[in-house]
Amino acid sequence: MNLLVYIRTVLWSFIGIGSRSGSSEDLAKVKPLGLFAVAIVLLAAFLFTIFGLANLAVSTLK
């Protein structure tokens, strides 16, 4: 369940939504190193998805 707090906090920061009071409560519950690790993993997953979709689009054009 704690992992979901990390993921929600990182996704909210990526998108830029969430209230100030909610974010301060979430930041009190998480550790910075864990937050950084989840952010790196989610960013890598996003980049690999974009890269894969771009390769798929280019390969279908040939």
Cβ atoms within 10 Å of 7's Cβ, excluding its own? 14
List the alpha helices (DSSP H) in the chain: 2-15, 20-29, 32-61
Q: Which two tokens stand for residue 37?
A: 């690790």
Sketch the domain layout of the chain as residue ranges: 2-61
Query: Residue 41 above 80 pLDDT?
Result: yes
For the entire predicted model, the pTM comes to 0.77
Q: Which amino acid is at 22?
A: G
pLDDT in tens, 4-31: 888 888 888 888 776 666 667 777 778 8
- Greatest Cα pair distance in the chain: 51
